[in-house]
């Protein structure tokens, strides 16, 4: 356990009353073994996994957040829907401290800024640029400048995700992500965002990457393109064909990748 994890545990015990925030908040035993942990701002497991042999158990639901155990054959997935925004994802990731799991998958959505990305495409970050405020709390000092810093994805995470995608013949687009607290606010600064080299917008990838690095966990983000602003507008209208591609990605491609990760 590294210095950050020790510092986190000490703070949780002192101010939260327990180091086991995961069980206290989400009813997920932190001492249990999980073959995969999925953290998703948008989707419940029922939205993605529709296999007849999948057993999905909802452990806790409150407002937009929920926790589940997903049983696929002899494998177990801990799945947490966080709700959108970096702060929600950060709290869940920090609660995963000490869990027995080798792989953590962040499953989110993003808005394309480049015309070569279409609705339903899958994106993995080679780096995520911090345009959020919550990552300030992940620095040694809150006054330390963090805005527009780059958070590179741990390479081992990209490797095992790429291998799983290859086995189900899924194409992953490795791109630069700009994470923002406000999608519409970021579009007000569209030129500045594009000047960073960003290909897509999301709200959580930078915070997720930062948590994985600090906690020394093998985690990686997989984003589905759910919106398109590549023509310079705030958002291009989604066609029925776009919806068909997105549904294929959510209900066929991503479940196939998840199975390969187990």
Question: Residue 56: its pLDDT value, please?
Answer: 96
Which segments in the chain show pLDDT lower than 70?
A: 134-139, 141-148, 150-151, 154-155, 232-237
8 Å CB contact between 128 and 55: no
Q: Which of 146, 112, 110 has the alpha carbon at shortest distance from 130?
A: 146
| Distance in angstroms (rounded) separating the CA atoms of residues 146 and 149 | 6
Question: Residue 144: its pLDDT value, please?
Answer: 58
pTM of the model: 0.91
| Distance in angstroms (rounded) separating the CA atoms of residues 34 and 69 | 9
Give me the residue label for tokens 């002192």: 14
Q: What DSSP designation does 46 have?
A: H
Question: Across the chain, where does the E strand assignment appear?
Answer: 36-40, 54-62, 65-72, 75-81, 104-112, 122-131, 150-152, 172-180, 200-202, 219-228
What is the domain range of residue 231? 3-261
Q: How many domains does the chain have?
A: 1
Question: Residue 149: its pLDDT value, please?
Answer: 74
Question: Residue 108: its pLDDT value, please?
Answer: 97
Question: Residue 232: its pLDDT value, please?
Answer: 65
Rounded mean pLDDT of the chain? 88
Question: Residue 43: its pLDDT value, please?
Answer: 96
| Distance in angstroms (rounded) separating the CA atoms of residues 29 and 6 | 19
Question: Residue 233: its pLDDT value, please?
Answer: 60
Using DSSP, state whether 13 is helix, strand or coil: helix
Report the CATH number at residue 44: 3.40.50.1580
């Amino acid at each position: 356990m590294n210095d950050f994890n020790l510092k986190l545990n000490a703070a949780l015990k002192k101010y939260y009353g327990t180091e086991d925030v995961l069980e206290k908040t989400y009813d997920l035993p932190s001492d249990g073994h999980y073959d995969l942990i999925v953290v998703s701002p948008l989707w419940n497991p029922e939205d993605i996994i529709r296999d007849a042999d999948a057993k999905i158990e909802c452990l806790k639901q409150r407002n937009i957040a929920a926790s589940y155990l997903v049983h696929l054959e002899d494998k177990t997935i801990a799945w947490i829907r966080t709700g959108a925004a970096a702060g929600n994802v950060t709290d869940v990731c920090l609660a995963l401290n000490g869990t027995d799991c080798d792989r953590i998958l962040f499953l989110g959505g993003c808005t394309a800024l480049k015309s070569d990305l279409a609705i339903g495409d899958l994106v993995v970050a080679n780096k995520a640029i911090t345009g959020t405020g919550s990552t300030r709390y992940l620095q040694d000092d809150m006054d330390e400048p963090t805005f527009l810093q780059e958070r590179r994805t741990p390479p081992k995470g990209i490797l095992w995700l790429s291998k799983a995608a290859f086995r189900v013949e899924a194409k992953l687009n490795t791109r630069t992500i700009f994470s923002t607290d406000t999608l519409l606010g970021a579009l007000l600064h569209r030129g500045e965002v594009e000047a960073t080299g960003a290909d897509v917008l999301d709200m959580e990838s930078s915070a997720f990457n930062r948590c994985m690095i600090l906690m020394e966990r093998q985690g990686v983000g997989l984003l589905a393109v759910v919106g398109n602003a590549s023509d310079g507008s705030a958002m291009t209208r989604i066609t029925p064909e776009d919806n068909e591609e997105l549904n294929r990605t959510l209900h066929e491609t991503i479940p196939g990748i998840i199975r390969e990760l187990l």
